[in-house]
Amino acid sequence: MYSQTHSIHSLFDQLGLDSSDQGINAFVAEHGALAANVKLHQADFWTAAQGAFLQQMIDEDADWAEIVDELDARLR
């Protein structure tokens, strides 16, 4: 079975966001401190498509799931 490893940079590319180190750090600084009772995909700063992608990757335990979990941790 083939498993692709993704990076935080490729996740930001997939979400249509600035994937530079500066862009990622700025995003985390702006949107960090996400409340514990809010699931990552339900955060109000995502578009509907971005939220759906994040939820699908976690629900399917896809190869993106690990990096989505990393983003979730960075935003907490």
Q: Render pLDDT for 15-25 as a digit per residue (tens, 0 to 9).
A: 999 999 999 99
Q: Render pLDDT for 50-70 as a digit per residue (tens, 0 to 9).
A: 999 999 999 988 888 999 999
Reply yes or no on whether the pLDDT at 8 is more than 90.
yes
Cβ-based neighbours of 9, under 8 Å, separated by 6 or more: 19, 20, 24
Token pair 């979730």 in the structure block, residue: 72
- In a domain? residue 30: yes
- In a domain? residue 33: yes
C-alpha torsion sign, points 11, 13, 18, 19: positive
Amino acid 34: pLDDT: 93
Number of domain units in the chain: 1
Cβ-based neighbours of 3, under 8 Å, separated by 6 or more: 63
What CATH number does residue 67 fall under?
A: 1.10.10.1130
**Encoding tokens for residue 5?**
């490893």
Amino acid 3: pLDDT: 52
